[in-house]
Each structure stands twice: as structure tokens, then as C-alpha cells.
Structure 1
């Protein structure tokens, strides 16, 4: 194996929840690196617009509108991958939602919605794509978890935190089960990342958030994409069942 960073030319990558935010950043990172990328998300129109924009940048990009919170949706994911990419080398299970709900006001429906997308969507997507990944000489699964839940907590997001911690529990066992097939399973844990939703909080609030990060800035989607590219690289072939915090040191201060 070469000591230089591995090429992604022609590598087949599927990214769930890829129409905005971190998922779009991951998809763009792989496309720019030369991978063949399938974008998935629930909304057809916006997803098609995003795919068109990435193709205009020179990316080899396809898209498929589907819902990974259901078994049927994850079966559709595997079918779209087989049809449009002819196989799969890397699955980035990124789809996730983060609605706010205080614990005492949270409804059963609120909890079910978050767990269905964030946990069930992760588990079923990996299970559906496992045969395709096992057939690849470079099978990789990269989960998008969070520091919220596995490391920190935040009022109003107990269901979200529980879902993100659950992803890591799944990751460890999935890594064991898929290891005999040469497939690795790892997770990226982003801190506060500057995405479309955060801009709505205003410049002053964003600066307050940045000031709380030792490196002095919020993360970018490119920061998260770089971690995903590492886990998907040939150089990370002996890394599995691991999580990488990408937060600029956000979790380090005691106070």
C-alpha cells in the first residue's frame, strides 16, 4: 500500500441525508476527491437541485429520494446503489434530525420520530447495504453521530442525545459482525458545525458559540468531510469500531 493518501477515483459512495448541512458537505468532499457519489434524502426537488449543483462542479453524482426511517426505504437505498453505482464501497449513514423537545413536554411521537430516523435509519441502512459492502474490496461504513449524547448533554435534546449514543453502541457490534467480510464501521462525532440552521441564530450568538471553542471557531462541513474521508481511505483499513471527535476542542474545558 502506498504511503501517500489513497485515491478515491471511481470509489462508489452513498451518503444519506445528503441534501443539506453535514451530509451535503460529506457528499461534496467525496465528489471533489473523485468518488462516484449517490445522494439520498427525503425531498426530491431539493435533492435534485443539490445533485445538479455538484455535477456543475464536476462531480460524478447521482441522487435518489427515499426515507431511511423505514425498512422499505432502506431496501430502496440498496436498490438505488446497485442500480446507479453498480455496487458500493462506502456508506455514509448521515441522515438525522434534531427537533427540540423538553423531556417533560416530549410526546411519544416526538421520541419515535427521532429514534426512527437517527437509530433505526442507521441500523437498517447498514443492514440493507451490508451485502454490497461485503462484495467490495474496500467496504467502509461511516456514521455521523455527535458529541451530544456520547460525551455531552444539552437541555431539550434528550431524545437526540439518546439516539446519538445508541449509534455508537450499534457501531461497535456492527464492526464485529462485518469484520469477517472486510468491512469497517466507524463514527464521526461533530461538535458545533456551521450549517444552514445555525445562521438563523444571528451573528452575535454564533460568535458566542465560537468563543466557547478552544480553537476559536465553529466547525465547518469540510472539517467533518475530512474525517469521513479518512475513515473511508485505504490507510484506515485497520481502524474499526472507533469514533473520532471533531469539535475544535469544544469538550475539553472543565468550566
Structure 2
């Protein structure tokens, strides 16, 4: 029987590529999104997948989303926590709203989404939770104290949850992408973008499908011995812990 996967923030950017790959792997896939209905409709049509609207920062929205997916596709076997936002500014000018919104969507969403599926995964003795962090959660970034804090917190969450569920056949891993060629990155001014590329040893931006390839492995049957890991995919830009 085909596994069921739910990808938050799955209709654009890296999430779009993850949805494409998991669907190609033969999974039944649902893509979560928060606002862009046109992109969601295009994703649903392109890949023949289910799309579900909601705010991952709101627990009740996540309850409703998972209930819809499980009613239509079956119990969720693979959860990819990919949704994220930025509200960049230096900390001494950061408003409570800029801090709180980023923490809710990037960090609280881990609890809100994973809490809906973890008990079922444990009962069935199989599950894959994959958290999409960021290079900036590892090394920090000027103007992103909120984002960096949330993405770093994701790594601690990954390790703790991996320990709790290892004996139940549920693996929990994180991926920390560097700068990937998405709409968000392409919106960066050309000179700034070039200065970023100049800092990447392989000399280019990453591709969304390169992240999706690693998600595909972690979501599969052969990754049962990989848990609590953080896989850095950044072209050599940062090699620290």
C-alpha cells in the first residue's frame, strides 16, 4: 500500500519540489499552503495531489488539515515540516509581531503539525518526520534573529523527538538547506545575490530538487537507521555543527 505524505508549504519553492519527488516515488501526497490559491490549484493539477489550506501556526488549523488528509488519503506516514516565513530586520528594531509571527510559523508549527500524527505513527510502528531547517539556523544571520532562533530550535526538537521515538520505528531528521534557487531567493537584489553566490564554494545556488532528493531518501524504507541527524546541503558554505 502506498505511503501517505503531508508536506507543509508544499505548493511553492522547495516544498513544490518535495511534493513532486514524493509523488514520483509513488506516495499519496497532500500539500499544505496558507494563502496563494492560484499556486495551490496549479500544484494540485500539475502533480494530481491533494492541497489543504491553513495556517501551520494555528493548532486548530493543523488538526483540521490532518483530519482532511486522513479522511481522503489515509493515515499520514511521512510528515515534512517545510513551511516557513521571514520577517527580517535587525533585532534592536524588531517588533513583537515580527518576532512572534516567525516563531509561530517556523517553530510552533512543529508542535502543531507533528502532534497530530505522532501517536498514529507510534501505534503503526512506522513513520518519517523530516524538518526543513536552514543554514541560518546553524550559523546565524544579520537581520534574522527571529528566523535563526526558530530554525535552530528545530534542530533541538529533531534530536529530542528522534530519541523518544526510535524504538517505535519513527525516524526524525532535519535538513538544513543553504541558498536555494527559489522565487524568494531570486527576489534578492542582483548584487546582493551575487555576493552570496561568491561565498558558496561550489559557485552556484542549490536546486530545489537537490533538497527533494534527500527528503526522498529520508522518507523511504531504507532510511530506518538514520534518525536525529541534520543533513547540511549548502554547497560547502557552512560546515559547522
Compute the TM-score of the two structures, normalised by the length of structure 2.
0.93
Partner of 2:86: 98
Q: Does residue 201 in structure 1 map to residue 188 in structure 2? A: yes
Q: Does residue 89 in structure 1 map to residue 89 in structure 2? A: no
Give the Cα separation in 1 of the matches to 2:220 and 2:165: 17
Please give the residue correspondences for 1:81-160 in structure 2 after superposition, counting only pairs within 5 Å.
81-136=69-124, 138-150=126-138, 152-160=139-147
Could you tell which deviates more after superposition, 173-182 or 21-30?
173-182
Contact 1:44 1:65 in 2 (8 A): no
How far apart are residue 48 of structure 1 and its match?
Answer: 2.2
> Could you report, residue by residue, the CA deviation over 1:89-120 in whole angstroms, capped at 9, with x for unpaired residues?
11001111112121011011111101101110
Give the Cα separation in 2 of the matches to 1:42 and 1:82: 19
> Could you report, residue by residue, the CA deviation over 1:189-237 in whole angstroms, capped at 9, with x for unpaired residues?
0001110122223555434322321112110111111111111122210
Give the Cα separation in 2 of the matches to 1:30 and 1:163: 26
Q: Does residue 32 in structure 1 map to residue 24 in structure 2? A: yes
Contact 1:44 1:64 in 2 (8 A): no
How far apart are residue 132 of structure 1 and its match?
Answer: 2.9
Q: Does residue 13 in structure 1 map to residue 5 in structure 2? A: yes
SS of equivalent residue, structure 1 residue 87: coil
Give the Cα separation in 2 of the matches to 1:135 and 1:77: 20
> Could you report, residue by residue, the CA deviation over 1:53-79 in whole angstroms, capped at 9, with x for unpaired residues?
222xxxxx1111111101101211320
Cα–Cα, structure 1 residues 241 and 145, in superposed 2: closer, same or farther, change >3 Å? same
Give the Cα separation in 1 of the matches to 2:62 and 2:165: 18
SS of equivalent residue, structure 1 residue 67: coil
Contact 2:125 2:168 in 1 (8 A): no
Compute the TM-score of the two structures, normalised by the length of structure 1.
0.88
Give the Cα separation in 2 of the matches to 1:45 and 1:62: 13
Partner of 1:216: 203
How far apart are residue 32 of structure 1 and its match?
Answer: 1.9
> Could you report, residue by residue, the CA deviation over 1:17-74 in whole angstroms, capped at 9, with x for unpaired residues?
112111111111111222110001112623122211222xxxxx11111111011012
How far apart are residue 244 of structure 1 and its match?
Answer: 0.3
Give the Cα separation in 2 of the matches to 1:133 and 1:63: 22
Structure 1 unaligned runs (5+)?
1-8, 56-60
Give the Cα separation in 2 of the matches to 1:173 and 1:93: 16
Partner of 1:49: 42
Structure 2 unaligned runs (5+)?
none
Structure number having the greater helix percentage? 2
Identify the match of residue 168 of structure 1 among 155, 170, 174: 155
Alignment: residue pair count: 239
Give the Cα separation in 1 of the matches to 2:233 and 2:124: 28
Contact 2:10 2:32 in 1 (8 A): yes
Give the Cα separation in 2 of the matches to 1:202 and 1:72: 38
SS of equivalent residue, structure 2 residue 17: helix
